[in-house]
């Protein structure tokens, strides 16, 4: 019974084209080889066991094939495992056969493969290998099948070899691909190489002043498939060659730090560009990227913005455009994604972010701190939208955590408004009030009550307090202090009466009548005591 395929197919084909005009002679290799530049650059399967993954086809073209179709592998071989990473060393060799020296490196458009030597990647000119006369370099493959489907090819059907010759009479950069063109007027040579799902090497040579360079990055991951870099376009290029490395990550880059701006947008991913040319030689760069519609959720695409980190450490927004449906259809782009173009005149680290509303209560206050039961006062709150997107929010007035009332506000970016709530209570108590969690203060609610003996009146805010030693309160609200030698007190009709100057007897005091009674009781007790002492004793 056949088993389900769990492997992916890795296959590359190099079709050599063009030539290098070396001024020096060349040595022809004894073994068959795919030769370039009049036999001056030769590609052959490596001698070791992994050399079986490379062979020459009937047209003497080198083929790198890690799949069941390779005639050199056993019949039960199915390919490399899906969801894995690995490395296959010493698959083929590149030999320089001229008399000078040359810097060689490889470019290709595959996303899941990297060409490597014993010293690391050989992709991009920054990772080139210098070869002397008849010197070879052994090349292997590093693969990453994570996110691929079983039975699918990992890479395209072409890769390119560069040789930068140091002979002064012929030192020029040449590339060979399956789509090579002998017409020198075809424009600049543009190459994109993958060094992983979230990294690309970008290169252009023979650039004429004013050229536009279009690099297709084939959905380079910034945040998995949620956010991808689809391409970079350089307009008005005045430099002869361009080399850049692009890398993406959902996390802040250590050298740049997290996105921080006044409107607090939500970062979606970060893009870093490293370059070895003067950025003043490029008038404008267009960053083409897309976001999965499901990942975008309810965010308005118009609120997605690209920020550039300046040399001063500030994050500056860049003009960001959403492609309309017609543009997406004309360009043949995926309708399952939202496509954007951001434009910048400067290179650096970039952040893709989404503006949101930031509606908050900045202040809340009570009109009065105390009222009588049944009376009302007002709670007022200032509401601001500090975000970069318009929004709507429902605000609740609470007392001791329980909701009393609510209202809904809609604010544009940077807009503020004031909301008011009437508030009153039927029961006397102290209530802690807040609007959307922002404290407004404590409201004391209580009834004022007159005491029958002229004491103080209870409650605050709605009644008048009196003090027994601070003077009396007149019926019309005025007060007068008591004199030391006598005073007049307020009557109900407002008239005053004289107060007796005699000392006021303290309630519950010990006077003369009380003392006489005590003395009588003592006399009776003493009489009884004398009678008892004279009685005869038996």
The candidate with the shortest Cα–Cα distance to 140, out of 12, 40, 262, is 12
Q: What is the pLDDT of residue 172?
A: 37
Does residue 200 lie within any of the structural domains? yes
Q: Are residues 160 and 198 in the same domain?
A: no
Tell me how far CA of residue 481 lies from CA of 260, 262, 464, 467, in angstroms.
Answer: 66, 62, 17, 11
* 160 pLDDT tier (thresholds 50, 70, 90): confident
Q: How many secondary structure helices (H) and strands (E) does the chain include?
A: 3, 36
Check residue 157 and give its pLDDT: 54
Residues 189, 70: Cα–Cα separation, whole Å:
32
Q: Do residues 70 and 139 both lie within one domain?
A: yes
Instruction: Say which CATH number the domain at 223 has.
Output: 2.60.220
Of 354, 386, 417, the position where a domain reaches its end is 354
Same domain as 429, residue 303: no
Whether residue 366 is found in the same domain as residue 388: yes
SS3 label, residue 332 = coil
* Separation of alpha carbons 444 and 306, rounded Å: 52
pLDDT value at residue 39: 67
504 pLDDT more than 90: no
Residues 157 and 234 in one domain: no
Contact 4, 149 (CB under 8 A): no
Residues in the chain: 538
Whether residue 462 lies inside any domain: the answer is no
My answer on whether 229 and 348 are in the same domain is yes
Which H, E and C letters describe 118-170, residue by residue?
A: CCEECECHHHCEEECCCEEEEEEEEEECCCCCCCCECCCCCEEEEEEECCCCC
- Would residue 364 count as lying in a domain? yes
pLDDT digits (tens, 9 = 90+) for 422-464: 999 999 999 999 999 999 999 999 964 433 333 333 333 333 3
Same domain as 193, residue 137: no
Pick the range with the lowest mean pLDDT from 278-287, 359-368, 386-395, 512-521.
Answer: 512-521
DSSP for residue 444: E
- Are residues 228 and 335 located together in one domain of the fold? yes
Phi-psi region of 80 (alpha: psi -120 to 50; beta: other; left: phi over 0): beta
pLDDT at 102: 74
DSSP 138: E
Q: What does the longest C-alpha to C-alpha distance in the chain come to?
A: 167
pLDDT of residue 9: 62
Which H or E run contains 64? strand 62-66
CATH classification at residue 63: 2.60.40
What average pLDDT does this structure show over 1-9?
Answer: 50
Residue 506 has pLDDT above 60, yes or no: no
402 vs 146: which has the higher pLDDT? 402
Please, what is the average pLDDT of the chain?
77
pLDDT digits (tens, 9 = 90+) for 217-268: 989 999 999 999 999 999 999 988 899 999 999 999 998 999 999 999 999 9
Calculate mean pLDDT across residues 462-469. 36
Task: Please check whether residues 101 and 243 belong to one and the same domain.
Answer: no
252 lies in some domain: yes
Confidence band of 485 (pLDDT split at 50, 70, 90): very low
Residues 344 and 248 in one domain: yes
Dist CA 122 CA 119 (whole Å) = 8
Same domain, 329 and 267: yes
- Kindly state the average pLDDT of the residues 393-419: 96
Q: Residue 408: which domain range? A: 359-445
| Phi, psi of 186, rounded to the nearest 5 degrees | -70, -10
Q: Determine, yes or no, domain membership for 410.
A: yes
Strand partners, 479: 473
Let me know if residue 23 belongs to a domain.
Answer: no
Q: Which of 425, 445, 465 is the last residue of a domain?
A: 445
Q: Is residue 17 part of a domain?
A: no
CATH value at residue 421: 2.60.40.10
Strands ordered across the beta sheet of 402-411: 370-371, 438-445, 429-435, 391-399, 402-411
Q: Model-level pTM?
A: 0.50
Going by the DSSP 8-state scheme, the letter that residue 55 receives in this structure is E
With respect to residue 134, please indicate whether it lies within any of the assigned structural domains.
yes
pLDDT bin (cut points 50, 70, 90) of residue 33 is confident
3-state secondary structure of 301: helix
Structural domain count, the chain? 3
Choose the final residue of a domain: 400, 419, 445: 445
User: Is there a single domain that holds both residue 332 and residue 364?
Assistant: no
- Residues 329, 334, 338, 344, CA torsion sign: negative
């Amino acid at each position: 019974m056949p088993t389900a395929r769990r492997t992916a197919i890795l296959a590359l084909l190099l079709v050599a084209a063009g030539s290098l005009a070396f001024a020096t002679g060349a040595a022809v290799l004894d073994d068959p080889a795919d030769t370039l530049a009049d036999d001056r650059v030769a590609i052959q399967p490596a001698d070791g066991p992994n050399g079986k993954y490379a062979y020459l086809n009937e047209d003497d073209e080198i083929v790198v094939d890690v799949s069941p179709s390779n005639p050199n592998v056993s019949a039960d071989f199915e390919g490399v495992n899906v969801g894995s990473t690995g490395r296959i060393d010493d698959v083929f060799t590149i030999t320089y056969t001229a008399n000078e020296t040359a810097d060689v490196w490889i470019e290709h458009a595959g996303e899941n493969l990297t060409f490597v030597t014993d010293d690391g990647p050989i992709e991009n000119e920054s990772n080139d290998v210098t070869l002397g006369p008849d010197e070879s370099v052994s090349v292997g493959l590093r693969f990453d099948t994570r996110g691929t489907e079983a039975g699918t090819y990992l890479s395209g059907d072409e890769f390119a070899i560069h040789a930068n010759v140091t002979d002064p009479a012929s030192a020029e950069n040449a590339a060979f691909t399956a789509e090579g063109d002998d017409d020198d007027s075809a424009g600049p040579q543009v190459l994109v190489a993958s060094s992983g799902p979230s990294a690309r090497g970008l290169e252009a040579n023979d650039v004429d002043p004013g050229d536009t360079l279009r690099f297709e990055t084939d959905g380079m991951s910034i945040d998995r498939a949620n956010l991808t870099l689809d391409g970079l376009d350089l307009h008005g290029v005045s430099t002869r060659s361009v080399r850049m490395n692009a890398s993406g990550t959902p996390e802040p880059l250590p050298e740049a730090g997290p996105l921080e701006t006044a409107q607090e947008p939500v970062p979606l991913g970060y893009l870093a560009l490293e370059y070895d040319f003067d950025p003043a030689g490029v008038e404008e760069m267009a960053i083409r990227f897309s976001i999965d519609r499901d990942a975008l959720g309810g965010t308005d695409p118009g609120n997605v913005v690209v920020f550039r980190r300046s040399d001063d450490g500030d994050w500056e927004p860049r003009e960001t455009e959403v492609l309309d449906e017609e543009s997406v259809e004309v360009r043949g782009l995926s309708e399952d994604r939202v496509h954007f173009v951001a434009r910048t005149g400067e290179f650096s680290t970039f952040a893709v972010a989404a503006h949101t509303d930031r509606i908050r209560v900045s202040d809340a206050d009570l009109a009065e701190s105390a009222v009588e039961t049944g009376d009302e006062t007002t709670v007022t709150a200032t509401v601001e939208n500090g975000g970069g997107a318009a929004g709507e929010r429902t605000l609740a007035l609470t007392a001791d955590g329980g909701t009393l009332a609510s209202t809904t506000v809609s604010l544009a970016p940077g807009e503020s408004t004031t909301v008011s709530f009437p508030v009153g209570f039927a029961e006397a108590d102290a209530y802690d009030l807040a609007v959307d969690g922002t404290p407004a203060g404590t409201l004391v609610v209580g009834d004022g009550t007159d005491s029958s003996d002229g004491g103080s009146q209870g409650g605050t805010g709605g009644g008048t307090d009196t003090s027994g030693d601070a003077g009396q309160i007149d019926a019309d609200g005025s007060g007068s202090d008591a004199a030391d030698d006598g005073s007049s007190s307020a009557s109900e009709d407002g008239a005053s009466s004289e107060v007796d100057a005699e000392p006021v007897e303290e309630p519950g005091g010990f006077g003369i009548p009380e003392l006489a009674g005590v003395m009588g009781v003592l006399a009776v007790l003493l009489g009884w005591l004398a009678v008892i002492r004279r009685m005869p004793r038996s």
